[in-house]
Amino acid sequence: MPALRLREKVIVVTGSTTGIGKAIAKRCLEEGASVIIHGIERDLAEKVSTDLDPERERTEISTADLADPDAPRVIREITLGRFGKIDGLVNNAACVGSGNVISTSREDFDRFLEVNTKAPFFMIQELLDDLRVTKGSVVNIGSVNAYCGEPDLLPYSISKGALMTLTRNLGDVLHRQYSVRVNQVNPGWILTENEQIRKREQGLPEDWPKRLSDQFAPSGRIFDPAEIAAVVIYLLAAESGPVSGSIFDIEQHPMIGRNPPKEIEN
């Protein structure tokens, strides 16, 4: 049996009651870690914690709203109070929604930046002393939209682009000064519970994931959250060695300079 890659480590995973965050929390537990399950709905956080860890021996929950300036302090106190240390932070929680240059209000824009950019920054700031002690690892969950983004995902894309700059900057500074690594995973199109709901609300049929063209899914399908979690585990674990300040684009086709696909003539 292979060794557990996160044995006895304590990992904070924000936004871990659904989708990618839940898959990351599940995989962390499978690899031997204790995990903070975070989400703003207490009933859901309790259910996920119990589903993933029936005896609740290696999970604790937090329902702090990351738009609240006190949230990082609250999450830190809960984590240290239960587990006594912090080895890793996964900044996964995100504000997701549509908006373009015409439709986006100042309030909407502020919300995207507050949750997607400022919250990860201040989570790192709050947990830095603890991560210095354990020589820990931070993984930010971004998006391939950070490079440009669709017209109706403009404020979301801007917030993820800023997160990428934060990752590269702190990935250098914190690694050099404190041996704390900071990296980022940019997922492409992921088949999460919320994505299925959004697409049905937009009028797509129940079986829309099976009807995607190879322009969007050359492999014949889009990603499962567990496939993103596998990359995150690598970055949290010791096997990723000195990797810091790196951006991992998890997509099935090139995101920059891609032309519409066509058949290659023999």
Contact 18, 192 (CB under 8 A): yes
Give the range among 136-140, 154-158, 183-187, 214-218 with minimum mean pLDDT. 214-218
Give the mean pLDDT of the chain.
93
Q: From its phi and psi, is residue 123 left (phi > 0), alpha (psi between -120 and 50) or beta?
A: alpha
CATH superfamily of the 10-188+223-250 domain: NAD(P)-binding Rossmann-like Domain (3.40.50.720)
More confident residue, 151 or 261: 151
Token pair for 106: 């100042």
Across 235-253, average pLDDT: 96
More confident residue, 253 or 91: 91
Per-residue pLDDT tens over the stretch 59-115: 999 999 999 999 999 999 999 999 999 999 999 999 998 999 999 999 999 999 999
Q: Give residue limits of the domains in the chain.
A: 10-188+223-250
Q: Helix, strand, coil % (nearest 5) of the chain?
A: 45, 15, 40
Across 212-236, average pLDDT: 90
What's this model's pTM, rounded to 2 decimal places?
A: 0.93
Per-residue pLDDT tens over the stretch 11-47: 999 999 999 999 999 999 999 999 999 999 999 999 9
Contacts of 10 (CB under 8 A, 6+ apart): 33, 34, 35, 36, 79, 83, 84, 85, 86, 87, 88
